[in-house]
């Protein structure tokens, strides 16, 4: 395994992520990483409002996410994300379906849908999902982003892995 990839897997090892999401933008255009992060933050914000209520920010940081941006040859932007909140369960199908319906532009979408493209949200397999996200960053030239909520739940500083010496 690539040393940077294994460092990320070890760094993320303590977080028991509940959901592994794959989000693909429909538009055949390349998006700047900041635009992708903004869309993902909006997805998380809307999910938090629907799951924990409109005043979710006063009760805690909400659902935390690790976002792995993967460049595609066809120009579409593709994202893998790991989601975590200590009060959620991997078996909570309703939250997974909600996150999916907040992304897709089809009939089964939620009224607050971002209408971006395809989405799959599955229970996270512990190290397999972490390794997959780290692969996007370490070997494919992608981008990894830890949002503020996940940084809070992790409680680690510095918020990046250290390569073995």
Q: Which of 3, 13, 2 is closest to 128 using CA atoms?
A: 13
Please give the chain's pLDDT, 165 residues, in tens.
Answer: 677 777 777 777 778 889 999 998 876 666 777 888 899 999 999 999 999 998 888 888 899 998 888 777 777 778 889 999 999 988 889 999 999 999 988 877 888 888 888 899 989 886 777 777 777 665 666 778 888 888 888 886 556 666 666
Q: Which of 126, 143, 125 is closest to 134 using CA atoms?
A: 143
b/e map of 32-70 (b: 16 or more CB within 10 Å)? eeeebbebbbebbbbbbebbbeeebeeeebbbbbbbbbb
**For the chain, what are the domain ranges?**
3-154
> What pTM, to 2 d.p., does this model score?
0.85
What pLDDT, on a 0 to 100 scale, did the predictor assign at position 160?
63
């Amino acid at each position: 395994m690539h040393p940077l990839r294994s460092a990320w897997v070890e760094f993320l090892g303590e977080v028991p992520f509940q959901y592994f999401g794959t989000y693909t933008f429909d538009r055949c255009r390349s998006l700047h990483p900041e635009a992708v992060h903004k869309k993902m933050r909006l997805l998380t914000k809307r999910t938090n409002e629907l799951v924990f209520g409109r005043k979710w920010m006063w009760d805690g940081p909400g659902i935390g996410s690790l976002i792995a941006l993967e460049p595609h040859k066809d120009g579409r932007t593709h994202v893998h994300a790991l989601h975590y909140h200590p009060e959620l369960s991997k078996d909570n199908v309703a939250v997974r379906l909600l996150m999916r319906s907040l992304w897709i532009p089809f009939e089964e979408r939620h009224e607050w849908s971002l209408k971006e493209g395809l989405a799959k949200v599955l229970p996270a397999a512990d190290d397999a999902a972490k390794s997959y996200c780290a692969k996007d960053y370490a070997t494919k030239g992608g981008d990894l982003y830890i949002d503020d909520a996940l940084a809070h739940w992790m409680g680690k500083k510095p918020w990046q892995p250290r390569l073995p010496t």
